[in-house]
A = this chain, B = another copy of it.
């Protein structure tokens, strides 16, 4: 199996190194990750300047751009083959519920998926890297299972792993994305010139963490696996919206 690894914490992040170590027995691995931490990068693409690929002292390739740039460049310009799987992570912190829209980790996997490559994003729930190697072992279990038994259709999985010892982890739970309350307000400070500056605040607390959600699974010590799709159409709203348009009376 040929694997393409990326992340959004940067090519020097412990989560990427742990993932690389754990997956090494499973196939041939190429790593291409951002030069710098890109947390919050979402699916952003660098359109206004060219990108360069370098090789770090750890043997990983890195690119002066975003996670999406990394996978995009690898799949369409750098690799001479189509990999069997894109693996992204292990992220320093959860990507659940609406986080998936902002996450560079999920975005790297998304990019693989859009190019027709099965893709999995892995995140470690809490930000202290506690039990990182246990999470990497889970990642290897999931990738190994995928290798032996591929999923039908296009695959895009979002996996969140609690910071627990391997033996203490619960089952793999297939989940839907929960919902969060809106984010905390920006934090306002004053810079030394007396001008206001704003820091983006923390994510909101879980609003829908009911049974079946990713929030619920990890709160119960389980590995959450959510299948993702990328069609944002609000299908149920189509009839209402048609009526609304119709209500405009005469066509404009």
Among residues of B, the one whose C-beta sits closest to the C-beta of A73 is B198
Q: Does A6 contact B (CB under 8 A)?
A: no
Q: A76 and B192 in contact (CB under 8 A), knowing A102-B45, A172-B245, A234-B227?
A: no
Judge whether A240 and B152 touch: CB under 8 Å: yes
Q: Which residues of B contact A201 (CB under 8 A)?
A: 76, 192
Interface residues of A in 133-191 (CB under 8 A from B): 138, 141, 145, 149, 151-153, 156-158, 169-174, 176-177, 182-189, 191
CA distance A227 to B171 in the complex (A): 37
Least distance between A124 CB and chain B CB atoms (Å): 16
Judge whether A200 and B234 touch: CB under 8 Å: no
Copies in the complex: 4
Judge whether B252 and A149 touch: CB under 8 Å: no
Judge whether A57 and B225 touch: CB under 8 Å: no
User: Other than the known A48-B64, A50-B198, A76-B183, what 9 A-B pairs have Cβ atoms closer than 8 Å?
Assistant: A12-B56, A12-B57, A44-B66, A76-B185, A138-B252, A174-B241, A187-B192, A223-B252, A229-B234
Judge whether A188 and B77 touch: CB under 8 Å: yes
CA distance A169 to B77 in the complex (A): 40
Q: Which residues of B contact A197 (CB under 8 A)?
A: 50-52
Q: What size tier do the contact residues of chain A reach? A: 35 or more
Contact partner, A200, options B69, B141, B173, B238, Cβ 8 Å? B69
The chain A residues found within 8 Å of chain B, CB to CB, are 12, 35-37, 39-53, 56-57, 64, 66, 68-69, 72-73, 76-78, 98, 100-102, 107, 110, 114-116, 138, 141, 145, 149, 151-153, 156-158, 169-174, 176-177, 182-189, 191-192, 195-201, 223, 225-235, 237-238, 240-242, 244-245, 247-248, 251-252
Least distance between A155 CB and chain B CB atoms (Å): 8
Judge whether A72 and B186 touch: CB under 8 Å: yes
Least distance between A121 CB and chain B CB atoms (Å): 11
